[in-house]
Structure 1
Amino acid sequence: MRWLAFGTYDVHRHPRVGVLIEGLRAAGDEVVEVNVPLELDTAGRVAMLRQPWRLPKLAWLLARCWTLLAVRSRRAGAADAVLVGYLGHFDVRLARRLFRSRTPIVLDHLVSAAGTARDRSLTAGGGGLKSKLMRWIDRGALRSADVVVVDTDEHLAALPADAAPRGVVALVGAGQQWFAAGAARPATRPDGPLKVVFVGLFTPLHGTEYLGAALADLAADDRIEVTMVGKGQDYDACRAAAAANPRVTWVDWVTAAELPALVAAHDVSLGIFGTTEKAQNVVPTKVFQGAAAACAIVTSDTAPQRRTLGDDALFVPPGDAPALTATLRALADDPALLAAYQRKAAARAAAEFAAATVVEPIRAKVARTSPIPPAMQETR
């Protein structure tokens, strides 16, 4: 197949689309990127919804990107399918208008706008103008797509009835650079403290308030060193909670090129620990990446994470800081246990999280799907 990877996605900020492109190419497909990154990250988009007077800036940025996308898509030529990258809620509408009706449009619907707004406390309950706006954005995006890609069975079940038949589950996975970082790890772990890493945007999904409490509990334990990478909504509260621990290193951010080696230099990669609705339904990118980098994985015991990782990770109840503390101490106490979970995570990643494996359900769905979404068939 010949694919166009289309939209304003930023593969450095959101690596999911990069994994899909890598996987399609590994499967033997041709992929041409028609991409004009929107110079606005997720936090910036959320800030605009908190402060609606900033929305004209988003409209201007989108208009600029879309003009370039329209020109470049004509130059790219025909395609068998179009992949609209993550955070493509608006881009998919443009794709539907630019490409002929028999070209399948595949939307990577990793998160819903409404779900993100609830998780970040942007909307309260199910009412209000902002909630209605988020649902309108989601509905329009889903109606524009022939295939809707989600990452967990829970997200598939949450799709509206008219979109569910077009849905397909594809794990987030990890790119080859993460597997390379894992392969480059020393065969024998050097002596010294247990090295733990967390990478994230400090949103309620991540549960960093509980992580901060766990770090405080570890303040007197010189066997465990923690690196916290990122900043975001709950960063200040997490750092304040962990202030008593002198063995925590805070790093504002690391480039996408440098991140795999940094994570692979640690023994344990932390997942998420939040108690929000969204936290119960996702398997975070950091879990796939940490496993590919051959770290032991410690994350919350939720249905999608347990299903994805099986017995190859260590789980703690969501929001349970003492359980997280106890798990990290157990790994510091037992090098053999640590090594076993590192091997198991790496094996699971090699078998199930590689890009070529992740895209198999998408390629199969596209091969058998109707080229025109049901919602559009009804209006034509």
Structure 2
Amino acid sequence: MRWLAFGTYDVHRHPRVAVLIDGLREAGDDVVEVNDPLPLDTAGRVQMLKQPWRLPVLAWQLGRCWSRLVAGSRRARKDGEVDAVLVGYLGHFDVRLARFLFRKTPIVLDHLVSAAGTATDRGLAGSGGAKQKLLRWIDRKALNSADVVVVDTPEHLAALPTDAHDKAVVTPVGATRAWFAAQTADRADSEPLQVVFVGLFTPLHGTAYLGDALALLADEPGIHVTMVGKGQDHADCRARAAANPNVEWIDWVAGPDLPAFVASHDVSLGIFGTTAKAQNVVPTKVYQGAAAGCAVVTSDTPPQREMVGEAAIYVPAGDAEALADALRKLAADRAALKTAKTTARQHAEEHFYPARVVAALRDRVNTPVPTRG
């Protein structure tokens, strides 16, 4: 097949589409990218709900990107017929442009998270009201524009409107080849346990509980934790963890450097939040940490159990004591740590490698899909 990966997606902020592209190419398909990243991250887009007067800025930026996408699409079509169009994550608007440009071509939407769900999780829109109605309308229009909808968990499939279930396919987020190429470091048992967290400090991540767990580990010199990233709960997390001198805070690590950086640690932390969204997602960092061969510690939620399986060590969501205890055990039992790292890596290779991730998607698209006249 010849695919067109299309949209304003940013693989550095949201690597999910990069995994799909890697997988399609590994499976033998031709993938042409027509991509112009929108210079606005998820937080910036959602923040506009609080400052609606900034919406014209979004429209202007989107319009500039779209003009280049239209030109790129024309060039791609001159080089050969397109069999399917893959619209990358955060493509709620892009998918409608794709539908307009490719009226008779199957359109695949990577619908990782709904706009309404993201805004609710970040406390910027309640369950009702005009803002939530607008976001649900945006979600609905995006889904209606797609022939195939890709979600990452059965829970997200269940959350789709009923009439979208038949065109949905569940695929794990997985990790790009760069994460599998990274290798965790071998350290002497006498060295501190190296733990890393990478994230944007949103309620989904549960960094308040993580901060409390770090405080509980203040007297544990054998556990060193590196916290990477910033976001709305960063200051609170840092204040809660202030008693621990063995915590290092880093603003960010560049995308190309991140796999090797994470792989230089023993343990990669997932999410620990108790929000509704936190109960229904499997974060990218969990797949990436396992692919890099780290021991992964994350919250015990149904989708993570189902999609990640034995690749992780689970603790109750929102339980700082349990999280601190899990890290103590790994620091004290290096044989158990080695087993956890090996198990995570093997499971990732069997289930999260790009070519395996896209298998169900390729089967779904290769099944005749009704196109629009």
> Equivalent residue for 2:160?
159
* CA distance in 2: counterparts of 1:279 and 1:2, whole angstroms: 36
Is the 2:279–2:302 contact (alpha carbons within 8 Å) kept by the matching residues of 1?
Answer: yes
Is the 1:147–1:369 contact (alpha carbons within 8 Å) kept by the matching residues of 2?
Answer: no
The aligned length equals 370
SS at match of 2:163: coil
* CA distance in 2: counterparts of 1:104 and 1:368, whole angstroms: 11
Shift of 1:133: 0.7
Is the 2:174–2:352 contact (alpha carbons within 8 Å) kept by the matching residues of 1?
Answer: yes
Shift of 1:310: 2.2
Alignment deviations for residues 152-198 of structure 1 (CA, whole Å, 9 cap, x no partner):
0000111101111000001000011101102xx34565641001000
- Identical amino acids, percent of aligned pairs: 67
SS at match of 2:5: strand
> Equivalent residue for 2:106?
104
Shift of 1:207: 0.3
Equivalent in 83, 88, 91 of residue 85 of structure 1: 88
Alignment deviations for residues 102-158 of structure 1 (CA, whole Å, 9 cap, x no partner):
x1000000000011011001112x210110011011000000000000000000111
Shift of 1:307: 1.3
Alpha carbons of 1:369 and 1:166: their partners in 2 closer, same or farther (altered >3 Å)? farther
* CA distance in 2: counterparts of 1:255 and 1:98, whole angstroms: 34
Shift of 1:312: 3.3
The code of the aligned residue for 1:179 comes to F
Alpha carbons of 1:192 and 1:156: their partners in 2 closer, same or farther (altered >3 Å)? same
Alignment deviations for residues 86-108 of structure 1 (CA, whole Å, 9 cap, x no partner):
0000000000000132x100000
Tell me if 1:198 matches 2:200. no
Runs of 4+ in 1 over 3 A off after TM superposition: 185-191
* CA distance in 2: counterparts of 1:170 and 1:22, whole angstroms: 14
Alignment deviations for residues 46-88 of structure 1 (CA, whole Å, 9 cap, x no partner):
1112211100000000111111111110110130000000000
* CA distance in 2: counterparts of 1:54 and 1:66, whole angstroms: 19
Shift of 1:365: 0.6
* CA distance in 1: counterparts of 2:193 and 2:185, whole angstroms: 15
Tell me if 1:95 matches 2:110. no
TM-score (norm 2): 0.97
Equivalent in 112, 115, 118 of residue 116 of structure 1: 118
* CA distance in 2: counterparts of 1:136 and 1:70, whole angstroms: 25
TM-score (norm 1): 0.96
> Equivalent residue for 1:141?
142
Shift of 1:352: 0.3
SS at match of 2:72: helix
* CA distance in 2: counterparts of 1:130 and 1:156, whole angstroms: 23
Gaps of 5+ in 1: none
Tell me if 1:232 matches 2:231. yes
* CA distance in 2: counterparts of 1:59 and 1:47, whole angstroms: 15
Please provide the CA RMSD for this pair. Answer: 1.1
> Equivalent residue for 1:26?
26
Is the 2:311–2:348 contact (alpha carbons within 8 Å) kept by the matching residues of 1?
Answer: no
> Equivalent residue for 1:15?
15
Tell me if 1:68 matches 2:75. no
The code of the aligned residue for 2:16 comes to R
